[in-house]
Each structure stands twice: as C-alpha cells, then as structure tokens.
Amino acid sequence: MGPVSDSDLEQLGINVVRGLAMDAPQRANSGHPGTAMALAPLAHVLFTRIMHHDPADPAWPDRDRFVLSAGHASILLYSMLFLTGYDLTLEDIRQFRQWGSKTPGHPEVHHTAGVEVTTGPLGQGVANAVGMGLAERWLRTRFGADVVDHHTFVVCSDGDLMEGVSHEAASLAGHLGLGRLVCVYDDNHITIDGPTELAYGDDVAARFAAYGWHTEVLGEVANDTDVLEAALRRAMAVEDRPSMLVLRSHIGWPSSAMDTAKAHGDPLGEEVVRRTKEILGLPPGEQFWVPEEVLDLYRSCRERGARLRTDWQARFDAARIDRTAWQACMAGRGLEGWEAKLPTFEPGTDLATRKAVNQCLDASAEYIPGLVAGAADLTGNTGMKLADAEIQSLVSPGGAQVHYGIREHAMAAMMTGMALHGGVLPVAGTFFIFSDYMRPAVRLAALSEAHVVYSWTHDSVGLGQDGPTHQPVEHLAAMRAMPDLRVIRPADANETAHAWRVAVDGDGPTGLVLSRQDLPVLAGTAEAFEGVRRGAYVLVAADGEPEVVLVGTGGEVHLCVEAGRLLAGGAGGPALRTSVVSFPSWELFALQDGAYRASVLPPGVPTLAVEAAASFGWDRYADDSVSIDRFGASAPGTSVLEHFGFTAENVARRARALVERMHG
C-alpha cells in the first residue's frame, strides 16, 4: 500500500477496527460484531482525539473514564485498547471469549487493563458512570482542579435505556447537575428480537431533557469523525448538567446484515465477512489484519498520554493539598489509627445496631477522608446520616451526604462507579428487604471487587407491624450465596463497631445486616474484634467440654446466651454444658483454617442454629435450626418473634430435644 493522507489513514484505522470486530466473533463463533462496526468511528474519535488517557498507566488518577455500558460490544473496546498500546496483544484479540483470555465476552474491570467497570447487564454502566461523575466532582471540589479535572464518557444502547436502572441514575444525575458526564446513545433501532419498534418508542432526547440533561440529536453522522468530535467537545463544555448525545447508527455497517438483528448477536459468517472487507478495502482473505501504519497511528496515543500524565504530575507535585488525606482517599481507607476512634458500648445497655452504626460513622468520618454516605430516602432509619455533613448538590458539590431518593438500584450501581473511580469510599443504606431492588448491582460490585459498604437494616421479622412485605426472610441466604460479598450480621453495638472496621479495612463489598429493634449489649463483645474478623467465635464458653452448641447471629445471639444459662442451670432437665457462638459472617468464617473452625464448632457436638430467617444453608454448620421458612406477619416485633419461637425458653427446649435425639 502506497502513502496515504492523514484522513485516509484514519479511515483505514477505523476500517481495521471494523475488521477486528468481525474477525474475533467469527473465530470464537460467538459475540456481537454489529455495534462495534457501527461505532468504530466514535471509538476512534474518543481514544485518539478526545480522551485524556495513558496506555502505559491505566490507573493514572486524572484520566478520563470510559464506560462501555453496551458491554456486548466488548470487541470494540478491546480493539481500541490493543491498538492504542494498553497491555493487550493481537493474540489476546484472537483469543476473544476463550478460557483464560484477557478478552472475555463482556468487559471485566481488574481483568483487562483499561477496562474501568464490569458491564454487560444493561443499564448498569450508565449508573456506574453517574457514580464516576459524582466522584470526580466531589474530589475536584475537595482537592482542586489542578489535581482532579477529567470527564466521564459512556456509550449506551437501546437496551441500556430500556432497563430502569439507567433512568433512576439519569434522573438523579440531572437533579444533581453532574456536568462532565457525557453519554452517547447508540440509536441503532435494533435489539435481539428485531426492530426496537416492537417494544420501544421513547423520545430519548425529550426524556433526558426532562431529567435536566443537556441533549443533542446528532442524526445520521455515525461515520463523520469531525462532526462527532465537535459534538463531544460541546458536551464537554457543559459544567452544570450531564449531556446526552443521540447518535443514529446502522448496526453492522456496511455488511449485508446491516440494520438487522443478525448483526447484533451473531457472527456474520465467513462469506459476509469476506464481502464486507472488500467494501471496506481490507484484504478479504486475511483475519486480524493490522498494518504497521495503522498500529503506528494508534500507538501515537502513548506519547500523547505520557505527556498529559507528566503535565498532571507536575501540577500534582506543586499542589498545596493534604497528601495524607489524598492517599487515604485513593486507597479507600482510614487514616492510620482511625479505628481507635470507634466507640465502645457498655454491657447491659440496649441499642439497635442500625443506631450503633450511625455512632460508628460519626465517630470515624473525620478519619476516613473519602467517606461519602447516603441512603435511599431512609437516611436516619439506616444510620446513614453524617453529623453536620453538607448535602451533595450542584451548589454544594463537596457534600458528603448523598440523598439518592427512592432509587435503590441506581444507588448501588452508582456506589460501584464511585468506588471504581477511586478516591471515594461509598456507604449507603436501605431496608434489607429492598436489597432485592439492589441485587443486580450488588452482584456486579462483588464481581468487580468494588470497595463499598451497604447498611441493610430492619433485618428480620423483628421489625414488626410493617408486616411480611417489609420483613426479610430469605435475604440472608440469598446474599450469602453471592460469591465475594462479605455479609456481616452483628449481635450488638460492639460487634457493629468491629464490623464497620472490617468493612472499611477490607477489600470488596460488605453488607452490614442491622436491626431495627434495640438489642442488649452483651458481655464479651467489646473485646471480640478478632472473633468478628474471623466470622465466628465462642462468646460464652461451656464449663468443660460442651454437650451442646448454640449458634446465633444478629438479634438472636442474646437469646442463645439466655438459653445457655437455662440449659446450664438445669431448666427442663439435667444441666447441659453449653457453648454459645456468635456467628456474624459465614464468609469470614469460611476463610479460617480447619483448626480454628473446629475450636468454634467442635465436631460431633450437637449444634443448634438460631436465626430469624430461612433455614436454607444452615445444614453446613448445624444439626438443626430455629428459623423461619415462611413469610412473616404484621404485629408488634416482639410478638412476631415470640410466635415464631424466638424465645430463650424455646431455644433451650429445642436444644435439649436435639441432644436427646442425637445422643439418647
């Protein structure tokens, strides 16, 4: 190939991206080529003209963030990362969707350099990006524009905007006036079932304008790089509103499958790929063709990125900021020794664990510089009100108190975006029953190892008269089943303080499951940090080798303590040597060695679990359980618990029956 002009070289580069978008799914016999083909010009403009990024340092704090909410178009992102010089090779592109490759079917953060968030479940990326935009503005307000000054770009699809989470987040983004958040909607009129008109006729621009966004309908300009660049730069200049650019594209352009559902979710087929390459001026018989001049064109991003990062480093070095606070923010941790500020609670007093977490929050907030707290319209109810904190808004962009409104799903997805952006430790709450609304985002937080903390309160039928619609039963089992989510249900206020410490100092997401009702502070829990950190511990040791073990979590531990006294005192029969175990976290306990686990739950000793929730799963640790395998009831909380058998007397009776059944 002879010399080409700059514009011709750019067009060749775009067509090479389209070739990779066809070849990788074709080789894998799986994937989504069409969107990547249509959006190759947009990706080219973003990665080579617009975004501040350094392929040699993907974690550079002041880089622009790119979120491919339409994660099914992952080959587009992988192609740009490879071409611009991230730690991705052409062989990685060839291994698209194969075991152990860096190019999985949907982008995964921490798996592939340059991927900012894990996307694929539609709508999540939009909400993640809103969280990133909030984090950027919050950090810029705190540390100054010399240190934090970047944009968040998100590409979304029809499916993203049909899922409700995107609109929850978009509504809040508009209300907060989150500028520097630029969303491009790929309006290609195609979903898996066929034309979007089968189920979707929204006026997207009008809808987002009603949310308070800056909107532009760009029309048929998907192949015009200069028009795309100009539109992006106009949106970037909007400081007081997020921006939505509606781009009409043609999925699968310019193949014979263009504008069909075939181009969305299936390889095009070898013959269609060959003919399309001929149209694009690519060698029809070659796969994964990347000529040197195209690679040189894209690799110039490395020099530009290094220069941008070096300029930022000079500004950062000269900035007059609290560097200790900056480092703690970036790590999502507390300042050294922060845990010493946590309160200790006196045995014999009564306090709901949702109120205890609030005291922990207030006591430690000053020493956790990146802490941003909020709730889904339940700020006081869930212990998430920060004393004297400003409310996050357009006029108070440094506010650390976020009112998410009744938007649990968006709240959780935004928290993930904030955490993955870096610089923020998000903690937010709702009633445990409404974790149902959060679950898809919680799952992605776990998959992404996002350092977030959920305050899930009103944790059992003990909440009382709101009744079964608000009483969680199966939720503990469901959340415990989720890999890489740390669930902690503390027994009292002291265990809550320990759990808060574990959550802040740990990695990945933590769900604190907390009581509405007051619980007695128990003797021995103030000194039990190691026990909570290890997931379970002997709170009350038997007088000698135990004849029965009572295992409780949360608000049921004090019942086990009382039942243990009854059994040891001979109530209902001969005295039984009873060990009482507080078991706040299955996940943490599972990490311990066998010797420790056996010291807490001795093999062969009858073990009764006591938890006001479904029995599902307890057979791994206990021989029987006092539990609830039906929905709750509307009545005062103490009455509901009593009717379901959560009294010390019933626990003692059940324990004695278990011993007799097992040992005669």
Active site residues: 408
Cα distances from 337 to residues 82, 241, 333, 496, 504, in angstroms, run: 43, 39, 11, 18, 12
648 contact partners, CB below 8 Å, separation of at least 6: 559, 562, 563, 565, 566
Residue with tokens 């599972």: 590
Q: Provide the β-strand partners of residue 180.
A: none
Peptide bond into 254 cis (omega under 30): yes
Which of helix, strand or coil describes residue 287?
Answer: coil
Residues 566, 648: contact at Cβ < 8 Å?
yes
CA–CA distance, 288 with 286 (Å, rounded to integer): 7
User: Helix (H) and strand (E) counts for the chain?
Assistant: 25, 20
Residues 61, 35: contact at Cβ < 8 Å?
no
Which of helix, strand or coil describes residue 576?
Answer: coil
CA–CA distance, 422 with 333 (Å, rounded to integer): 11
With CA atoms as reference, report the closest residue to 609 among 425, 521, 480.
480
Helix-strand-coil split of the chain, %, nearest 5: 45, 15, 40
Residues 484, 449: contact at Cβ < 8 Å?
yes
Cα distances from 209 to residues 122, 125, 175, 214, 246, in angstroms, run: 21, 20, 11, 6, 12
Cα distances from 642 to residues 8, 559, 646, 650, in angstroms, run: 78, 11, 5, 9
Which of helix, strand or coil describes residue 639?
Answer: helix
Neighbours of 7 (CB within 10 A): 10
Cα distances from 147 to residues 107, 252, 422, 481, 579, in angstroms, run: 28, 41, 13, 41, 55
CA–CA distance, 438 with 130 (Å, rounded to integer): 16
Neighbours of 377 (CB within 10 A): 15
With CA atoms as reference, report the closest residue to 53 among 71, 39, 65, 67.
65
CA–CA distance, 410 with 80 (Å, rounded to integer): 29
DSSP-H helix ranges across 405-450: 408-421, 435-448
CA geometry: angle at 263 spanning 196 and 96, to 5°?
A: 125
Q: Per the structure block, which two tokens stand in for 286?
A: 């070659």
Neighbours of 616 (CB within 10 A): 16
With CA atoms as reference, report the closest residue to 459 among 356, 364, 547.
356
CA–CA distance, 596 with 63 (Å, rounded to integer): 45
Residue 128 carries which DSSP code? H
